Structure 1
Amino acid sequence: MDTRNIQYFMAVYEHLHFTKAADELGISQPTLSQQIRILEAEFGMPLFDRIGKKVVATEAGRLLREYGTKMLQAERDAKNAIKELQSGKQGTVRLAVLPSDLDFQLVPLFVQFKSTYPDIQLQAFSTIFVQDEVLNHKVDLGIGLRGQVDKRLTQIPLGCEPYHLFVNSASELADRKEITLEELKEHALVMYPKGYLGRDLVDDVCRQEGFELTTVMEASSATSLLQLVSAGVGATIQPAGLLRQNPERPEIASIPITGPTPVRYLELMYYADRYISGSQRQLTNWLIDYFNANIGQNPHDG
């Protein structure tokens, strides 16, 4: 069994369709089918059930997918380690971050990384499934909401961040020292659409208190929401740190939310037993330093 056949197997597992998998791999469908049969003969068990035109992974196939993912990652780690030894500063670093405001806030750090490692490609992906992307070896590092402890991962707390109300400086609310969520029921709000983590955090707190906030407009990016606030369309409820990354916006005031407050707890994660290149280690340290400087610590953590 070699990694090429594992790659063939993984493509079929991903598509559950031999022709689509063959097209992705750039080989013929009969060749792909033959390689899968070789694997099945080697294991002495079918990896896929063919039910008419439908392809379904067997229990053996599901097991091979789990271990095959690790095999392919181990091969990539070995190649990356040797490549780094040979070249010093080449390769790719893949980072998954929560969408909209975090990737927006981290752009200056990405610029710093590129300046330090001009020959390394930094790929930043926005996703709400950060932990899954790390566990499936689709990214090297991830920044997401704090989750359950997983022994397969190294999980580094990055502190917590309360949400504030951002309003136009000309708003009647701009001089408030603090405000409750319930007071916002009668005010125009611009927010992420439902289903976005930031929106869901706010909605969950409101729901627990027995009310719901309504919006006059929704947008899927932090930049758009801040522009809407600047234009006086409405106020928005966002992580406090977002405005710190936009000090050139004097037309926006930030008001702490008192009482039940949406708070997000962040962590940096990566696979515990995989190879970490020098550039990945440097990026990890920069990310930890950034969040230590810009994000508050959980008061219950001491």
Structure 2
Amino acid sequence: MDTRNIQYFMAVFEHLHFTKAAEELGISQPTLSQQIRILEAEFGTPLFDRIGKKVVATEAGKLLRQYGTKMLQAELDAKNAIKELLSGERGTVRLAVLPSDLDFQLVPLFVQFKSKYPGIQLQAFSTIYIQEEVLNHKVDIGIGLQGPADKRLIQIPLGCEPYHLIVHSASELSNRKEITLQELQHHSLVMYPKGYLGRDLVDEVCRNEGFELTTVMETDSATSLLQLVSAGVGAAIQPKGLLRQNPERPDLVAIPITGPIPVRHLELMYCADRFISSSQQQLTNWLIDFFKKGLATKK
């Protein structure tokens, strides 16, 4: 089976439109249609139903999409493995991380890594959909919140990090040695919008205790949250690591939360059936060491 035809099939499956798929592939629409017919003849069954101008994948087409993804990935892995064998310490690593970790934790590590491995190209992406990006082969490695065991993934625990209340040094709360979430019901808070991982962690703890926190302002950027706290708009509930990586922010104070505490458990993940290049392995080792050392210093 020609994997080129699998690529053609995947393009049609994604667009469900032969003309758009042909434009993306850089071939003519009749050529694409012919190649799909060849593939359908090889399988002995239609892969798409053509109802007027509408294209719908058949059950056979849906199955081929599932296995076709693995076939194309296996071909890419083989090419990468041979390329790595011939070129030595070179390669590209795609990394997905949570936005706050990319903004506040990992840039110093990236600088060190680039200095030691100048031939390796690192591509870092900010997203809250870590597991999906890894499983869909959009990235090679992901660092996100620990989830249920998945046999499709290698999941390596990196440690846990309790949340703190971050306030301005001029706040009436700044001298507190500790504080409970219940006490924050009547204080101005700036937080992520509902549905974001950090917000959901806090909301779940509060919900289990029978109350809900309200906000005066919401933003999806950790940098913006710290700026709002610095401006005196409100306090934020965030990992203390945000301040550890921002020593130039003496105007902000982190207060430990007692009682039920929001805690984020981090893990590194990559697909179990993927070829792991030496460049990916090097970065994986660095990330594991970086997070485990960093989280250990916060306890």
Task: Using structure 2 for the length normalisation, give the TM-score.
Answer: 0.94
Write out the 4+ residue segments of structure 1 that deviate beyond 3 Å after TM superposition.
Answer: none
1-structure distance, mates of 2:140, 2:28: 32
Deviations along 1:56-107, one digit per CA (max 9) or x if unpaired, are: 2222111111111111111111111111122213321111112x21111211
SS in 2 for 1:257: strand
Number of equivalent positions: 297
State the shift of 1:25 in Å: 1.2
Please name the residue that 2:293 is paired with. 293
In structure 2, runs of 5+ residues without a counterpart are none
Q: Is the 8 A contact 1:48 1:55 kept in 2?
A: yes
Whether 1:244 and 2:260 are equivalent positions in the alignment is: no
Q: What displacement does 1:265 show? A: 1.2
Residue identity opposite 1:167 in structure 2: V
| Residue matched to 2:205 | 205
Which residue matches 2:226? 226
Partner of 1:93: 93
Rounded to whole Å, the distance in 2 between the matches of 1:145 and 1:101 is 12
Q: How does 1:103-114 map to 2 (within 5 A)?
A: 103-104=102-103, 105-114=105-114
Partner residue of 1:162? 162
CA contact (8 A) 2:144 2:266 kept: yes
Distance between the aligned counterparts of 2:252 and 2:176, measured in 1? Answer: 13
Is residue 116 from structure 1 mapped to residue 96 from structure 2 by the alignment? Answer: no
2:28 paired with 1:28: yes
Partner residue in 2 for 1:253: 253
Classify the secondary structure of the residue corresponding to 1:93. Answer: strand
TM-score normalised according to structure 1 size? 0.93
Distance 1:119 1:264 in 2: 34
Q: Distance in 2 between matches of 1:172 and 1:275?
A: 54
SS state of the match for residue 131, structure 1? helix
Instruction: Give the AA of the match of 1:171.
Output: S
What's the % identity of the aligned pairs?
Answer: 81
Partner of 2:11: 11
Mapped pair 1:171 → 2:171: yes
Q: Tell me if structure 2 keeps the 8 A contact 1:143–1:269.
A: yes
The DSSP-based 3-state class of the residue aligned with 2:179 is coil
User: For the residues of structure 1 that align with 2:14 and 2:118, how far apart are their CA atoms?
Assistant: 33
TM-aligned CA deviation for residue 296 of structure 1: 4.8
DSSP-derived class of the 2:95 partner: strand
Partner of 1:229, secondary structure, is helix
Amino acid of the residue matched to residue 222 of structure 2? Answer: A
Residue 153 of structure 1 contacts residue 271 of structure 1 at CA under 8 Å; is this kept in 2?
yes
Please tell me whether the aligned partners of residues 165 and 256 of structure 1 are also in contact (alpha carbons under 8 angstroms). Answer: yes
CA distance in 1 between partners of 2:84 and 2:131 (Å): 26
Q: Secondary structure at the match of 1:68?
A: helix
**How many angstroms apart in 1 are the aligned matches of 2:128 and 2:59?**
28
Partner residue in 1 for 2:137: 137
Structure 1 SS opposite 2:114? helix
- The one-letter code sitting in structure 2 at the alignment partner of 1:142 is G
Paired position in structure 2 for 1:46: 46
Query: What secondary structure sits across from 1:133 in the alignment?
Result: helix
The verdict on how the C-alpha distance between 1:12 and 1:296 changes in structure 2, with shifts beyond 3 A counting, is farther
Deviation at 1:40, TM superposition (A): 0.8
**Partners of 1:69 and 1:137 within 8 A in 2:** no
2:147 alignment partner AA: G
- Alpha-carbon distance in 1 for matches of 2:29, 2:180: 61
Cα deviation digits, residues 177-205 of structure 1 (max 9, x gap):
11111211111111112221111111222
Which residue matches 1:196?
196
CA RMSD, aligned part only? Answer: 1.7
